[in-house]
Each structure stands twice: as structure tokens, then as C-alpha cells.
Chain A
Amino acid sequence: MPFFAGNDTIRELRTALSDPAVHADKIRYRQVLRRVVSLMTDGADMSPLFPDIIKASATADLVQKKLTYLYICNYAAVQQDLALLAINTLQKDCLEPNPMVRGLALRTMCSLRIPSLVEYIQLPLKKGLQDSSAYVRRNAVNGCAKMLHVAPELIQDASMIDQLYGMIRDKDPIVVVNCLQALEEILQAEGGVVVNKNIAHYLLNRVQDFSEWGQCQVLHFLLKYKPSEEEETFDIMNIVDVCLKHSNSGVIMAALKYFLFLTQDMPQIQEQVYNRAKSPLLNIITSGGPELSYVALCHIQYILATSPGLFNRDFKKFFCRYNDPLYVKTKKLEVLTEMATDGTEGDIVDELSMYCTDVSTDLATASIQAIGKIARRLPTSAAHCVGTLLKIHGLQQEHITSAVLMALKDLVLLYPDIVTKVTPLLPNCVELVQEGPAKATLVWLLGQYGQTLPNGPYILEDMIENVASEISVQVKLELLTATAKMFFIRPAECQDMLGCLLEYCIDEDSNMAVRDRALMYYRLLHTDVQQARRVILGAANRPVQIQDSDAPGHEVIDLMDLNTLVPIYGRRRWDVMVEEQKRKQEQTKLTNGTSNETHMAAEVAEAVEEDNLEETISLLSHCSLTPQEFETKWGELDCVTTVHLDYDPTQSPNGLLQKLEAAHIFTMASSPEEATQWKAFLFAVAEMKDETHVVLVELCLDRLAATMQATCKFGADHMEDAVPLISQFGRILRGTITSFS
């Protein structure tokens, strides 16, 4: 909690700072300054003391000087006019014989970030670059990078850049690295510092001189130079080899990335490099502390996307340790799920089943989901996984049973032969499972497979009796469908209860979706029972396809993403984040330009939307659909929505399709561009909560009215999925099309 110093404190400190007795006593003076800096750190506003502190900065006592400079850097931006007073002392300090003082003064001066002071800084900075002390030169080079943001014209000057290039040959390794970094920032617009063969070899020969941090950076800059000959590549690899054995994981990863970069065109050697990389990565996981371990796990997960088999032999290293923090455990679970193959899946599933009893319900649930995922991906493992899930189900805990039911729901669709094993469990679950989504799943399973249970209808009857107290819309919707399905198979037992349920839902329920479905069933049954049967039961036997979008092996990673933050968030999330930032920046520009209220409102709305975006849908960048599939699906899907859009007549329809393609909405067919009744059929695959849904779109253009109508059909099995899907997809569609015009 920030502490706000009152006026009294400031007055008291000011008195102390101007007290001659304090000035005479070095220790007391230091203590007063300490207090000021301490309050400043706590968040109190100490800026009124600025003039007093400037006086204090003119001292020979270095401790005192450092404290005052720390203060000045912090408040210079708020006290721009007074900052000029500080320059005098700083300039004097730049001429001190002690290189430490010179360096310190230069560093402070360049950190002030005040454009009006540039003229005073220019000279000391240029002198600093030629200083005899390496310490001063280091600070001067960094000073150039700092000044770039305050006075670009001073730094982006040919002679300055030449001088910095020259200083790459400095004998102090830190100056060298600072030069590279400064040039990278200064020349950002032209693609950063240029590393040619000469510079690259010079850096390689000195690689041992650099500190560990220097090595990290230099290896990064070396990625800019690609050796032309194989022999040269091997020479370089021999030089850098030591870095792979470094104790700093930053150096190891930088070296590894460099190796992968060098061997890009030599697949066989690259494979060896990957194998070489295995043990350092595994060592980081076991001995690097949880934070490094997490980062390494993310990288392994990223690498697994292209080479799924790489860590197969070491899968035991990914077993959770009981003292791992939850974020490491969860990550390990993901990695284990992805690396399970025909050989190892047995052990992995057994291990995962051990986590189901974990004290953390999150981990327990995640481990059950993981088993379900493995079963979906590896048909050979399905029997074992289902067996394990059924055993876990025996634990009779709400969160476990719920998770098991959700996992089994997907599996019964994929492997119909397990139905006989699953159905007998259902009656036991009724008591345990109370929460919305899990309960809806249970009801769905009962509706789909409960007919074989002797007491199937009566389980539903109990639920119907309590339907008034049910809060979840989803459960009520599923209950309607389940009861209707049950009715067609065991009509005698179900007729009354279906009547009660329909009556309640139509007359008393307040939710539109529930009432609509109940009314629809009622009317269907009223008109033609046989037709109703066909409609309600019809969907039961359609083939299913459940895709795990994150299954390994289907993505090509860019190795340049290694040793960056990308693997931590995953490529897709990273792209969304970058996009979001770009949009925000543009928005701010816009708002700054016009600053009218509508823009503000738009931005707020945008911000709200973006907050929602995180846990919602994303469209897969690769998916395919044949025209036949499209046609059958178009007939099958029953979840439909229509979006009306404005059409900007200056834009061509084909350009529109390209834009949509960039947003991962693909074109199946479209009419010729000049057609008056222009039409296009589009499709996309949306991913939401680990599940994928097909979306089909018919886009009709009305040139006269300058409007478009998009009819979207969604492949959603549950109402719960459909609602966010419809709203999200509509938003993406609208966003893409309007951003065009």
C-alpha cells in the first residue's frame, strides 16, 4: 500500500535538508536522504523537495551523490524546469578524475529524458564515448540508446553511427555488447545492426571473453549472419559448442537456437542438434527451480509440435513431483498428454490416474481431461483409458465424477462399444453431480443411452420434479431433449412426465431458449408424432468427429520463436496478443487525433470485448472441407443465425473474400464478381474450450441496398456451446468485413 507523506513530513525533511548541522555531518545527511528515497519507493510524492536535493547532489560523498541522482532520475520528468539546475553538477561530475563519478554522472544525465536538456548532454556524451575508462564508455554507449528516444536527430547521425560501429572493436567486452544493442535500437527502422562476415567472426572469436549475459546477446545478434559454406558452419559450431555446456540456461538456449539456425538446411545435423538439446532442457526441468522449469516445459511443448517423438524415452522426467507448484504440474500434464504414443501411453495414463486424488481439484480435473484426450487421440489406448476412467469414477467425489462424465461423453461418441460399460454408472452419478455443465452432460447421456437402464425414466422423473429449483438453462434444455428421446422409446413410462415438463417449461420458465425448445417439441408432437420422432431422435446416429486442435505433429513451428516468449503463450495466443496491441495503438492514435466521445466509447467497448476474447473462440488457420461435406453439413446443422452487414460498394467482393481468408474464414464457392446477386459459401473451424466446431456461412450481397446478409450455421452439439459461438463468430465476421471498408 503506498504511503502518502503529508505536508508535515515534507516540511520536516526540507528543514533537515537545509540545516547546516546536517550538512556538516555526513552520516546524518545520508540518513535524511535515505529517508527521502525510502518514501519515494513507497510511492509518496517527494517531488517538492527537488531543489533541496539538487543542492545535496553537489557533494564529494559518493553515497550521498548516488542517492540524490536516484531521486533526480525519478522526478526529473515532473520537475522539468528545475532539472536544468541539476545539469550543472552533472556536467562538473563528468569532468571528475574518478571514472566512477564520470560514469555515474553520464548515466544519470542520459536517464533524465528531458528534450530541452539535450544541448547540455551532447558534449559530455561524445566525450564519454572516447573516455579512457571502459566503465564510462559502457555508460556512454547506453546513453546513446537512451537519448534516441529523447533526441533522435542527435543519435541517428551518420558520424555517431559510424563511431558506434567502430566501437564494436572496443577491448572491453561489455562495451562491445552495449554497442550492438544500441545500434540495434538506433537502426531499428532499417532492420537493426548489420552483422557481416567480418563482425560475425570477430564476435565468434571473442565469444569466451563475454560475460554470460554478453554471450546471450551476442549469440542473438549472430543470428543475423548466415555462413555461406558448410565448412564455415562447422567451424562456427565448434567455437560455440562450449556455450551449450554453460551453467546459465539463457546461454544454453541462445546457443541452441543458434545451432538450429546454422543447421536449417541440413536436416540430418539438425536432428542431432535436437538430440543434443534434449539433456540440457531436461536438466533445466529437474534442477532449474520451478520458474525455469516452467519455461523449459513450454519450450518442450513447442518443440513437440514438430517432432512429437523427441522426448519419448524420457517421459518419466515429466512426472509431477509432489512439491512442484501447480503451474508446473499443469504444464507437465499437458506435455505428457501430447507426448503419449502407442508405446508409452499405458504408463502415462497410469501416472495421470495417480493425480486424480490430488488435493488440488484443478489438477485432478485436468488429469482426467488429459486421460480423455489421450483416449480420443490414440484409438489403441481407448480401452485402457476407459478402464482407468471407470476405476477413477469409483472414488465418488463430485469433481472427479463430473470430470469423468465429461470425458466419457466424448468417448462414447467415438467408440460406441463402450456404451454398455458407461450406462450402468449413470444412476450412481445423479446424487453426486450437481453442477451445471456436468449435470447437463449426465442428462444428455441419460437421454442418449439411458433407455437400457430399467429405472432410466424414473431418474429423469426425479429431476423433472425438481426442475423448478434448477438454475442452469443448459440442464433444463438437455432435460427436455432427454425426456423427449426417452419418450419415443419407452412411451408408457414417460408420457406423463414429459407432459409435466413441457407444461412447466412453457408456462413457468422464464428463459426464452427453454420455452422455445419446449414449444417446438410440443408443436411437433402435436402435429405428427412420427415426424417428431424423426426430428428428435434423428441426430442420434450421425457419425462424429472430435478433433483436438492441439494434437501434436500438425503444426510447423518457427525455430526463431525458440528462446523468446512465444512458446510460453503459444503461437496462436501470441498472434492474438500482437494483433490486439496493434489495434490498441491505432485506436490511441485515433483517439488522440479527434478525442471525441464516440471514439472513447468505441474504445471502451473494444476493451471490454478484448477482455472476453481470452477464453473464447479462435478460428483454426488450417482446415479443409470438400463441397460434398459442405452440402451434407449444410443440410444437417440446425443451429442457425443471420447477420446483417453494411456493404461498402467501393470494395470488390473478391477482396472481401481475401480479407476473410486472412481471418481464417475460407471460401468454398462464390459467384462471379460482377453478378448482381453475388453469393459466396464460406466455412471455418472454430475452437472453443478444447473443442472444435464447424461454421458454415452463406454470404449474400444486395448491391442495390448496399447490404449483406450472412446466414451462419454452427456445428454445436450443445446449446451452451452455441451461444458464445454465435455471438463470437458474428463479431469476428462483422469485425473483418467492416474493418475492410
Chain B
Amino acid sequence: MISQFVILSQHGDILLFKDYRGDVGKESPELFLQKIRDLSGGLAPPTFHHDGIHYIHVKHSSLCFMATTRSNVSPFMVIELINRVASLCKDYCGVLSEEAIRLNFPLVYEILDEVIDFGYPQGTSTDMLKAYMENSPVLVREGTTPGLFGAERRMVPSTAANKSIMGTAVSQGRKNEIFVDVLERLTVLISTSGSVLRADIDGIIQMKSFLVGIPEIKMGLSEDLTVGKEDKRGYHSHAHVDECSFHESVDLSEFGQSRVLTIHPPQGEFPLMKYQASGDLPSLLPFRLFPTVNDQDSSRDMELVLKLRCDVPSTSHAVNVMVRVPVPKATTSVSQQLSGPGQSVEFKAQEHLVVWSIKKFPGATELTARFKLAVANRTPSSRLELGPVSLNFELPMYICSRLQIRFLRLFDHEQSYVPYRWVRYVTHSDSYVIRI
């Protein structure tokens, strides 16, 4: 059971303070911030203890959600609960930001009132709560400062999914929409010799529903999808995941046979399916790097040639590729030669980092960058300080597990309407590291 729930801004302002049990003093947020500041630089663990009180906190975007307790609770449950509250705030306010919380604090108080009572979690499903919510959301308009206090605003169309599940009815006339995102995050580690030490996919099918009522949806996944570690895979051309788990709204009766999910989606955002795959991936890794380092002659600059190959099909492309190369601490300057336009290089002397950015990287192509590093007092160990290279990228409409959504059908017996359905696929780099 938790004693208090606090939402803090980036600067340590208390945006929201809800006391459930009255057994922890009101000064707890200050003590918490004090402790966090003492342990700066990512050292403060999510759970710590001070004077009989446990502080458990989770960061979401720029906000910090913190719960205090005096009892020996399940940390998993509390963190999941905090995450759930954060996503409820997002569902109701449209976005999760300091401004959104400030504008909607009565609404967020209502959420906290209904979701947790006397420190115990009650119901948290978005649509169940909707019945108890009285405040209407105030939407945050991007790029503008808030105007009159409490004034109703309309949404910017480009962020179509960033809206409150309540706001739709009030401000825009109800629109039946459903958004499905297939997101994969890649964790890859490639050794100096080029062998893959680790390749993990961490995937999620995220659904955000603005549909009226709770209609039945059928979603067909790739028919050739195989699940399980032991499953023999002759060749890697079909979709595969090692493990998967589903949201409670999913009925799996047809999954074994035809890979069809029957869903009764609650309103708001929820993770429909989470899955993991590791080891041999069904498709090639999206990027390969061929580095060459020339540091034989210590009187001349250290030379580093990076040849980066994008191995996705030529129909796809990567965007916002960022190659980060840590360089020796004694590096004074960097000069470079790039093979094409749309690229840039930045040398961050303070962080000893060279960042090579590529706006758009078409599939099945190769880019080369040559760097000359001027290193003061070259020692043989300077070479050891070079690397490992880490890659940040985004691959729109490309998925490494080859999982596909074949169809998304709605069955609604009362109303016959055609909802708007949006399906996106994105692969992100989580930690894509190549040692050189």
C-alpha cells in the first residue's frame, strides 16, 4: 500500500500531491528531491529508503512520478501502478507534459482519487474510470503558450493521436479512430571481429482506440508466425518471435490455428501484445559497419574510416541515423570527408565524441566517412579509447521480426460505420553498439 503519490516537474515543482494514508509527513517531496540531487548523474535508483520511508519513483518524459510507503510492498506492483497512472494521465490529457498536468490538475486529482484509495489500487481501466470523471480535459496546444486559464482548445491535426479520450466527444464531434503501432526496439552488440554477440528484438503492438463502445476487433497477424525458442527454423524467411504475452482484452482462441487475435479494446492506449526475439533474427541486421583504423604512424593524425551499410530492402530507408564514436580524451580536433550530401559531423570536445548524422539513409546502400583525429601526446593506448560505436536510428515501415498485421476488422452489430484505421511499423535502435 502506498502512502502518498506525488507528481514533480523537471525543476522539482510539486505539480500534484495526494496523501492517501497520512502516515508520511508532508515534507516528503523535499526530502526526496534532496536525496535525488545528492545522487545526481543517474545514480539514484528508482527505490531508496530514508528514515523508515521508501521512495519509489519513475520518470516519464520530463515528469517524475513518486510514491512513498512505509510498508514492504511489491516494487514491481508499485512501479507498474505508477506507469499505469502515467499512461492514464496521457490518455485523459492527450499528452504527458508539465503543461498538460498543470492545466488539468483537477482531472488528474480525480484520476488519482479513483485509481488508488487508502493506498490500494482500485480499478485502472480507462473506460471504467471514464464514468467517474467529471472534469473535462484542457488540451495543450503545441508551440503556443497557454492562454486564458481553463480555456478549451482545439487540437493540432499533425498530432492526431495526442488527444484525450474524453476530448474527442466534446471538441471535435466523435470520430471513430483506431491507431495500431508495431514498434520494435533493437539491442545489438557486435564484437571487434564483426561477429554478433547479441541481437535482441523487443517488440510491442500498441493500440490506441477512440472507438465508440467496445466493439469486437479481429486482427490477423502473419500466418507464418512461429512462436517459441525451440521451434525449428530451417531458414529465416518467416516471421518469428521467441515469446509473447497479450493484453487481457485479447481472446486467443483462434491464435493457435490462424494467428488471428480477437480483441475487445478498452478506450485509450494499451499494449496489445509484447514480444521478444533474440539470437538468430528472421532478417538481416539493419546496419553493418566496416571500420578501419590507421594509427601506425604516431607522428601523423589518427585516421578512422567508417563504412556503414544499410541492409534493409531498397524499398525502405532509415531516418535520423546518428553514429556516435567516442574518441581519445586527448583529441584536439577532427576533420572529415563524407561521401554524400545530407550528412553532417559534429565533434563534441567536452564529451570526447564524434557524431556523424545522416538524415535519410536508403536501404541497400553504403556510406563512407573518413575522420582524421588530431590527438595530442599519442600513446599506444589512444587506440583503446576509440569506440565503441553506437548507432541511433529509426526505420519507418520496417520490422526486423517480419511480423505483419494482415488485416484489422471491426465487428459491430448495432452500428454500421467504417472507422478510421491507422497501422504503423517502426523499428528503433535501443542500444546498437559496434566495437571497433
- Chain A positions within 8 Å of B, measured between CB atoms, are 1-2, 27, 30-31, 34, 37-38, 41-43, 62-63, 66-67, 70, 74, 77, 100, 107, 113, 135, 138-139, 142, 145-146, 174, 177-178, 181, 211-213, 216-217, 220, 245-250, 252-254, 279, 283-284, 286-287, 289-292, 294-296, 316-317, 319, 321-327, 330-331, 354, 357, 359-360, 362, 391, 394-397, 563-566, 568-569, 577, 580-581, 584
Contacts and interface: CB of A to CB of B under 8 A. Distances in A.
Interface in B14-29: 14-17, 19, 22
Contacts of A247: 245-248, 271, 274
A248 B15 contact: no
A246 to B, nearest CB: 7
A67 B42 contact: no
Contacts of A568: 45, 47, 75
A420 B165 CA distance: 71
A289 B75 CA distance: 14
B46 A565 contact: no
A568 B204 CA distance: 28
Contact of B118 (A38, A62, A145): A145
B326 interface: yes
B77 interface: yes
A322 B135 contact: no
Contact of B248 (A70, A212, A396, A565): A212
Contacts of B59: 291
Contact of A295 (B79, B123, B149, B243): B79
Contacts of A142: 117-118, 120
A566 B247 CA distance: 29
A357 B385 CA distance: 6
Nearest to A316: B198
Contacts of B202: 286-287
B118 A254 contact: no
Interface of B: 1, 12-17, 19, 22, 41-47, 49, 51-52, 54, 57-59, 72-81, 83, 105-106, 109-110, 113, 117-118, 120-125, 131-132, 134-135, 149-150, 185, 187, 189, 197-198, 200, 202, 204, 243, 245-248, 271, 274, 276, 326, 329, 351-352, 379-381, 384-385, 388, 390, 430-431, 433, 435
Nearest to B75: A295
Nearest to A323: B431
B42 to A, nearest CB: 4
A38 B105 contact: yes
A604 to B, nearest CB: 14
A694 to B, nearest CB: 30
Contact of A563 (B19, B76, B379): B76
A142 to B, nearest CB: 5
A70 B109 contact: yes
A323 B46 contact: no
B16 A357 contact: no
Contacts of B58: 289, 291
Contact of A41 (B1, B14, B81): B14
Contacts of A279: 243
8 contacts: A27-B150, A74-B19, A247-B246, A291-B79, A292-B79, A321-B430, A568-B47, A584-B52
Given A38-B105, A326-B41, A565 B72 contact: yes
B380 A321 contact: no
A253 B76 contact: yes
A541 B198 CA distance: 46
A273 B264 CA distance: 32
Contacts of A253: 74, 76-77
Contact of A216 (B54, B77, B110): B77
A327 B44 contact: yes
B384 A295 contact: no
Given A31-B150, A177-B120, A178-B120, 17 more contacts: A1-B12, A107-B117, A138-B117, A138-B122, A212-B80, A247-B245, A250-B79, A250-B81, A283-B276, A286-B202, A286-B276, A292-B76, A295-B75, A354-B388, A359-B326, A359-B352, A565-B72
A139 B122 CA distance: 10
A324 B430 CA distance: 10
Contacts of A249: 76, 79-80
A645 B359 CA distance: 75
A287 B132 contact: no
Nearest to B65: A291
Nearest to B69: A565
What 4 pairs across the A-B complex have the smallest Cβ distances? A321-B431, A250-B77, A326-B42, A213-B121
Contacts of A566: 72
A95 to B, nearest CB: 19
A565 B124 contact: no
Contact of A359 (B46, B243, B351): B351
A42 B74 contact: no
A113 B22 contact: yes
B27 to A, nearest CB: 10
A507 to B, nearest CB: 41
B111 to A, nearest CB: 11
Contact of A66 (B17, B49, B110): B110
Contacts of B13: 1, 42
B17 A41 contact: yes
Contacts of A580: 52
A394 B381 contact: yes
A322 B433 contact: yes
A249 B274 CA distance: 12
Given A216-B74, A216-B77, A326-B42, A43 B14 contact: yes
Contacts of B352: 359
Given A213-B77, A295-B79, A357-B326, A37 B124 contact: no
A317 to B, nearest CB: 8
B169 to A, nearest CB: 16
B430 A564 contact: no
B123 A245 contact: no
Contacts of B75: 295, 563-565, 568
A359 B248 CA distance: 43
Contact of B385 (A30, A326, A395): A395
Max count, chain B CB within 10 A of own CB: residue among A252, A287, A317, A359: A287
B80 A565 contact: no
Nearest to B246: A247
A569 B48 CA distance: 8
B435 A354 contact: yes
Contact of B187 (A146, A321, A391, A569): A321
B106 A37 contact: yes
Max count, chain A CB within 10 A of own CB: residue among B16, B74, B105, B388: B74
A326 B125 contact: no
B105 A37 contact: yes
Contacts of A100: 131-132
B45 A316 contact: no
A584 B50 CA distance: 13
A247 B275 CA distance: 10
Nearest to B74: A563
Nearest to B60: A289
A317 B197 CA distance: 10
Contacts of B276: 283, 286-287
A670 B113 CA distance: 62
Given A287-B274, A290-B46, A246 B106 contact: no
Max count, chain A CB within 10 A of own CB: residue among B41, B51, B200, B384: B384
A245 B117 CA distance: 27
A67 B189 CA distance: 53
A139 B117 contact: yes
B47 A565 contact: yes
Nearest to A145: B118
Given A287-B276, A295-B75, A181 B1 contact: yes
A100 B121 CA distance: 18
Contacts of A212: 80, 124, 248
Nearest to B431: A321
Given A41-B16, A41-B105, A397-B329, A286 B200 contact: yes
Contacts of A245: 245
A77 B25 CA distance: 13
